[in-house]
Chain A
Amino acid sequence: MTRQTAASDIRHPGLNLGEPHKEAHTANEELAFGFWVFMMSDLIVFGLLFATYATMLGGTAGGPGPSDVLELKGPFIETMLLLASSFTFGMASLALKYEQGKLRLIGWLLITLLLGLGFIAHELMDFQSMFSKGGVPSRSGFLSAFFSLVPLHGLHVTAACLWMLAILGQMAVYGVDTSVKTGLMRLAILWHFLDIVWIGIFSVVYLGGLSG
C-alpha cells in the first residue's frame, strides 16, 4: 500500500479510487458528489425524525415509557455489529482501491453483508421483545415516534444489503468493472452514513431513554 492519492487528484469527498482506476475514478466525480448531496437530503429526514421523537417523549398517554420497553443489551450488540460492518466495508474499499484481488474484495463484502443481516435480525428480535411488553406503535405518540425513527434506519440497512447483493450479482456477470466500482464507492458512503445515524439513535433513543 505505497501508492498515495495526490491532493490534486481528489475528485470528490471521501475515499478516492485514484488514477490507476482512471475511468471509474473520473466517472465517480459526479456520481459520488451527487450521492453526497442525496445523503445530505436524507440526513434532513433523519434529523427531523429525531426532533419529532424528542418532542413526543412525553406523549406516552399512560402507556409504557422508554424505561419500560427499551433495554441496552440488544442495541449494544447491534451497535457492535454495525460498527464492525463499517470496518469490514472499509477493508473492502481498500481491497478495491489497491486491487488486492477479486476474492479478497468479495470476502470482505460478504462479511459486511453478514454483519448487516445480523444487525437487522437482532433489531427485529428487539422489536419483538418490545411488542411482547406492550410497546406497539398504536399504543401512544411516544411509541409511534420510536417506530417511525428506528425502523426507518433498519429499512435503510435492508435496502443497502439488497443493493450489495445486486452489486455482487453484477460482479458475477461483469467482473469488477467501472459500474461495479462506482456502485461500491456509493454504497460505501451509504453504509458509513447509516453507522452515523445509528450512533445518533443509540445515544438519543437508547442511552437517553434509559438514563432518564
Chain B
Amino acid sequence: MTLFGAPLLGRMTLDALPFRDMVQHPTRENIVNGLIASGAALMVILAAITVLGLITWYGKWKTLWCDWLTSVDHKKIGIMFIVIALAMLARALVEAFFMRAQQAVGLDGGFLSPEHYGQLFTTHGTIMIFFMAMPFLTGIINYVMPMQIGARDVSFPVMNSISLGLTAAGAALAMISLVLAPFSTGGWTGYPPFTELAANPGPGVDYWLWAITLSTLSSTMTGINFAVTLYKKRAPGMGLMRMPLFCWTALCTSILMIFGMPPLTVATGLLALDRYLDFHMFTADLGGNMMNYINLFWAFGHPEVYILILPAFGIYSEIFSTFSGKRLYGYTALVIATMAIAVLSFTVWLHHFFTMGQSAHINAVFGIATMLIGIPTGVKIYDWMLTMYRGRVRLTVPMLYACGFLILFSIGGLSGIILATPSIDYQIHNSLFLVAHFHNMLIPGLLFGMLAGYTYWFPKAFGFQLAPRWGYRAAWSWIIGFMLAFFPLYALGLLGMPRRALSFFNPTYLPWTISALLGAVLILFAFFGLIMQLWQSIKQRASLAVPIGDPWDGRSLEWAMPSPPPEYNFPVLPSINSHDAFARQKGSGQHYETPEYYEDIVLPANTAMGAALGGAGFLMAFGLTWHMWWLVILGAVAVLVSLVGRGFVRQTTRTIPAAVVENQHRAWMNAVLETTPITRADEQTPANQGLPVSPREGAVQ
C-alpha cells in the first residue's frame, strides 16, 4: 500500500515482529530470545487490553477523560506522572533481572543474543532515567511543592498538562518498541558513530532518539514551570528562606532542567540531522566530530545526575525532620549546599570521559571539581544526622528508607571520590565498578527517596495510609537486595570485568555474578512487596483513613489541609511568618482556624491540550521512527492546529463559589473537632485519623 507514492507503513515490514527471527531461523538461540521478546510483547499487549477492558467494564471512560486526562490540577498531574513512573519501573526492573540472569550463567555463553542483550541495557538505562526517575520526581514535586509554598496551582497549569502528555508519549514509544521491534542497542548514552546511519540503519536508534526527545521537551517545560511557580506564586510572607527544604531542592532541580536539558536537545537534534538529512556532525567521515556529541551529551548528563538526586535530598530532609520531631538542623547550610551542588554540577561533565584523549591538566581540573562536590554533599549528610541527634526518632517506613540511604549513599559517594581520580579512572573505567558506583548513587539516593516520598505523601494524596507491614518488608528487601546485587559489582569491576559484557571466560567472576542475581531476585520481591502493600492498603482503606490530613505531625503547609486536599488546596491563601509554618501554627495553637470570610476561587479550566499534544507527539515520533511520512505530517498539523486553536480560547478559567468553599471547609473543621487526637506511639495504627495531639496539650516531641 502506498500513499502519495510512499509506502503507507514506511519501512515497517514483518521483521518488526519479535518472533519473526525465531520462525524463519529456528536455531536454539533464536528460539530462546524470540520467546523472551514475544513474551514481553505479549505482556505489553495484555496489559493494554486489561487496562482498557477494566475501564470499559467499570464505565470509567468519562471519569478518566474529564477528571484525569484533561485535568490541569497539579495534584492529579503529579499522580499521573507517578503512575507512569511505577509502570515503567516494573518493566525496567524485569529487564535488569534478565541482565543479571544472563551474567549469572554467562560463563562461556549464556542464553541471550548480543542484539537482545544490547537492547536490554539500552532500554533499562533509558527507561530508568527518562521514564522512571524523571516522571517520579516531577510527579512528587508537582504534587507537593505548590501546597508547600501556599499556592493553588503551578504558574502554567496547561503547560504542566502538556509536559505530562509528552512524557506519556515518550513512555508509550518505549513500550511499543517491544511489540514493533527493535529498540536501540547503543546504550542510554547513544554514542556515535555507533548510533550513526552507517553502523545502525534500522529503526532502533530512532525509537531511542524520539523517545528521549519527547522526554527532554517535557522536562524543559517542567523546569520552566516549577521555577516560575517557586519565584512568583509563594504565599504572602513565604520568603525564599522560609520555604521547606524540598522546595529549595525543587528550585535547584528546575534551574538545572532549564539549563541542562538544552545540551541534550542539541545533541539528539544533531544526531537526528545526521540520520535523517545526511548531515556529518558526528560521523566518522567527512569532517564529523563525535567528541562534540560526547561533550554535549554529558553537559546534559552531569547536571541530570543532580536533577535526579536533589529532589530526593529534599524528600529526605522533610522525612528526617518530621520523624525526628525536630526542625531541620542547619537549614541555611543545606540551602547553600544545595545551590553549591547545582552550580558545581555544570563544572564536572568531563569526568565521564577522562580516558578520551584530553590532556592530563584538563583531567586534573575536572577531577578536582568532581571531588569538590563531596563537600556540600558531606555537609548534608552531617545535617541529616544532626537532625536525628537527640530527636525522638520514629523508625517508620519512610524513615527506614532514609536511614538506608544515609549509609549506602555515603558508601557510593566514597566510591565516586575514587573514580574522580583520573589515574584510577584509567584502570577501572568502563568496568562494572562504574556500574556499581552509579547504581549505588541512584538506587539508595534517588529511588529510595522517591519510594520514601511516595509512602510519606500517599496518605495526603489518597486519604489513607499505606499499611506498614508490607512496607517494611519492601524497604528491607530493597536495602538488602541492593547490597546483594551491587556490592559484588565493585569486586567484579576491580577483577576487570567490563560493563555491558554479554559473557565472560573467567570462572572467578561466577560467585559474584550469582550473588548479584540473588540481589536482583530480592529487588523483584521488593517491588512485589510494594504492590502487595498498595493492594492491601486499598482493601483496608476505611480503617487506614486519615481524613484530617496530618498523620505524621507534619511541619509544612501541605499537612494543614484535609486528605485528600480540595482541588483549590487552600480555602484562603495563608499568610506565613516563619519557617516550618504549620509546626509553628500548631505550637501557638493557631492551626485549624476559621477564616473571617471566604471568597470565590478562580481555577484553570480543564483542557485537552495535554492529551492532544501528547497524542500528536507520539504520532510524529512513531512516524519518524518508521519513516511513515504521512503520519509525521499529520502529527505536525495536529500540533500546529492545537497551538493556534488554543490561542483563540478565551474561557480558560472556572470559578468555585465562596459558599461551596465555606461548606467544604466548615465540614472539615467539624471533623477536626470530633476526631480524637493521637500521640506518636499510635502513628502507624488505625487509631491515626490524621490529627496529632497538639504540642500545647503536652505531646512530647
Q: Does the CB pair B279–A34 fall under 8 Å?
A: no
| Chain B residues with CB below 8 A from A196, complex form | none
Distance A58 CA – B289 CA, assembled complex (angstroms): 10
B-side contacts of A177, CB under 8 Å: 650
Interface size class of B (residues with CB under 8 A): 35 or more
**Are B266 and A142 in contact (CB-based, < 8 A)?**
no
Task: Name which of A2-10, A79-87, A144-152 contacts chain B.
Answer: A144-152
Tell me the bound Cα distance from A48 to B650 in angstroms: 38
Instruction: Check if A117 is an interface residue, CB within 8 A of chain B.
Output: no
- Which residue, of B227, B261, B274, B279, has the highest number of chain A Cβ atoms within 10 A? B279
Inside 8 A of A49's CB, which chain B residues have their CB? 266
- Is B299 in the interface zone, CB < 8 Å from A? yes
Contact of B648 among A145, A147, A170 (CB under 8 A): A170
CB closest chain-B residue, reference A144: B279
Report if A207 contacts B (CB, 8 A). no
Q: Is the CB of B232 within 8 A of A179?
A: no
The listed residue (B223, B288, B643) touching A59 by CB distance below 8 A is B288
Within 8 Å by CB of B287, from A33, A142, A169, lies A142
Verify if B535 is at the interface (C-beta below 8 Å from A): no
B167 sits at the interface (CB 8 A): no
Residues of B within 8 A of A167 (CB): 647
Interface SS of A by simple majority: helix
Distance from B290 Cβ to chain A, minimum over Cβ atoms (Å): 10
The CA-CA distance from A33 to B155 in the complex, in Å, is 10
B442 within 8 A of A: no
Would A52 and B292 count as touching, CB distance under 8 A? yes
A149 to B265, CA, bound (A): 13
CA separation between A142 and B288, bound complex, in Å? 8
CB distance from B356 to the nearest CB of A (A): 15
- Contact assessment for A140 and B258 in the assembled complex, using a CB-CB cutoff below 8 Å: no
Q: What is the interface of chain B mostly: helix, strand, loop, or mixed?
A: helix
A36-44, A68-76, A89-97, A127-135 - the one binding chain B? A36-44
Whether A156 sits at the interface, judged by CB under 8 Å, is: no
Chain B nearest CB from A202 CB (Å) reads: 21
Q: Contacts A141-B281, A166-B644, A173-B648 hold; do A60 and B287 have CB atoms under 8 A apart?
A: yes
Chain A residues with CB below 8 A from B336, complex form: none
A59 touches B289 (CB 8 A): yes
Question: How far does the alpha carbon of A88 sit from the alpha carbon of B33 in the complex, in Å?
Answer: 64
A144 touches B273 (CB 8 A): yes
Given contacts A30-B155, A48-B299, contact A138 B278 (CB under 8 A): yes
Q: Please tell me which one of the listed residues A63, A137, A140, A142 contacts residue B277 in the complex, with CB atoms under 8 A apart.
A: A137
Bitwise, A156-169 to B at CB < 8 A (1) or not (0) is 00000010001101
Asked if A61 is at the interface (CB within 8 A of a chain B CB), the reply is yes
In the assembled complex, B404 has its CB within 8 A of some CB on chain A: no
Q: What is the distance, in angstroms, from A211's C-beta to the closest C-beta of chain B?
A: 21
Within 8 A of A (CB), among B266-298: 266, 269-270, 273-274, 277-281, 283, 285-289, 292, 296
A48 touches B287 (CB 8 A): no
B260 to chain A, nearest CB (A): 9
> Which residues of chain A are within 8 angstroms of B650 by Cβ–Cβ distance?
174, 177, 179
Chain B, residues 418-444, CB within 8 Å of chain A (1/0): the string is 000000000000000000000000000
- Interface bracket on A: 35 or more
Chain B residues within an 8 Å CB radius of A147: 273, 279
Residues of A within 8 A of B283 (CB): 141
Q: Which residue from chain A places its CB closest to the CB of B283 in the assembled complex? A: A141
For the complex, give the distance between the alpha carbons of A162 and B647 in Å. 12
Tell me, yes or no, whether A55 is within 8 Å of chain B by CB. yes
Decide: A148 near B279, CB < 8 A? Known: A52-B266, A140-B287.
Answer: yes
| Least distance between B637 CB and chain A CB atoms (Å) | 13
A183 close to B (CB within 8 Å): yes
How many Å lie between the Cα of A108 and that of B661 in the bound state? 47
- The verdict on B220 contacting chain A, using a C-beta distance below 8 Å, is yes
In the complex, whether B364 has a CB less than 8 A from a CB of chain A is no
A residues near B296, Cβ cutoff 8 Å:
48, 52
B391 close to chain A: CB less than 8 A: no
From 490 to 514 in chain B, residues with beta carbon under 8 angstroms from any chain A beta carbon are: none
A33 to chain B, nearest CB (A): 6
Which residues from chain A contact B604 at a C-beta distance below 8 Å? none
* Chain A, residue nearest B258 (CB): A41
Bound-complex Cα distance A76 to B233 (A): 45
> Among B265, B289, B647, which residue has its beta carbon within 8 angstroms of that of A55?
B289
B279 touches A170 (CB 8 A): no
**Is there contact, CB below 8 Å, between B648 and A140?**
no
A–B Cβ pairs within 8 angstroms, 21 of them: A30-B233, A33-B228, A41-B262, A59-B287, A61-B280, A137-B273, A137-B278, A137-B279, A137-B280, A138-B277, A138-B278, A138-B280, A139-B280, A141-B287, A141-B288, A141-B289, A148-B279, A162-B644, A166-B647, A173-B648, A183-B647
Known contacts A48-B262, A138-B277, A166-B647; can you find 8 more A-B pairs with CB under 8 A? A40-B258, A45-B265, A58-B287, A59-B280, A61-B287, A138-B278, A141-B289, A170-B647
Residues of A within 8 A of B (CB): 29-30, 33-34, 37-38, 40-42, 44-45, 48-49, 52, 55-56, 58-61, 63, 137-145, 147-148, 162, 166-167, 169-170, 173-174, 177, 179, 183
Q: Which 4 A-B residue pairings sit nearest by Cβ, starting from the closest?
A: A59-B287, A141-B287, A61-B287, A44-B262
The interface of chain B, by Cβ under 8 A from chain A, is 155-156, 220, 223-225, 227-228, 231-233, 258-259, 261-263, 265-266, 269-270, 273-274, 277-281, 283, 285-289, 292, 296, 299, 640, 643-644, 647-648, 650
